Structure 1
């Protein structure tokens, strides 16, 4: 199997295992991505979230609607541009993010057990370089 197929399967297996574990938090990995982005960057427009997470615009609207329904994020008028909205993570969103992040980390630790700590570090470094290059092309 070529590396593209391997990356695809690795992503699919990791995503499926993580999503199963995140069901306990009523989240999926895609929700975790949005909440993490908001927690790290602060309030962002939906457009900025789409760009950062490489998601489809309509999927992002649906995602934020779901997060709002659960009280984990909220849209507020942007203070700099009253015509647009910024998405904010709520305190409940921060709490759920912390718990879900721990769960996701446990899943990843389990999936990486066939690799030595040195190999895990190498994989991390190689993927970081791959992503950095891909972002620039």
Structure 2
């Protein structure tokens, strides 16, 4: 069943709201991350490496849905800062795996704390129960969107 409103389709309005919510959340997070010389792309790569271990650039591109040239820039920057490094992949010596460094893990922990504070500020209008519900709704939305692509 499609829900509509007198001034237009609700689905279109929701799309616009998701877009604006994304823009505000991204801007707040990136502003908070400046002091760490990071942005959300860097945080995404470091977070993935910390959770899943060494990974090829190709896999990072696929998992984080980032274009190849942006991924190269992000990994180059992480290497420049000593937060990650590329090493020959032990399973395939023709390719490289990206590894998070100890310094990268430390920076990730601090950056996650700061980003969490920035997001908490944006979520002030919601109760804890509403925040959980929003999280569940967005997780379902993302899961469905992934299945469509």
How high is the TM-score relative to the length of structure 2? 0.90
Match of 1:66 in 2: 77
Match of 1:46 in 2: 57
How much is the aligned-residue C-alpha RMSD, in angstroms?
0.8
Match of 1:119 in 2: 130
Deviation at 1:29, TM superposition (A): 1.0
Q: Which runs of 5 or more structure 2 residues have no equivalent in the other structure?
A: 1-11
| CA–CA separation in structure 1 for the residues paired with 2:95 and 2:146 | 27
Q: Which runs of 5 or more structure 1 residues have no equivalent in the other structure?
A: none
Relative CO higher for 1 or 2, CA cutoff 8 Å, sep ≥ 6? 1
Cα deviation per residue 1:26-64 (whole Å; 9 max; x = unaligned)?
A: 111111000000000000000000000000011101110
How high is the TM-score relative to the length of structure 1? 0.98
4+ residue stretches of structure 1 with deviation over 2 A? none
Deviation at 1:24, TM superposition (A): 1.0
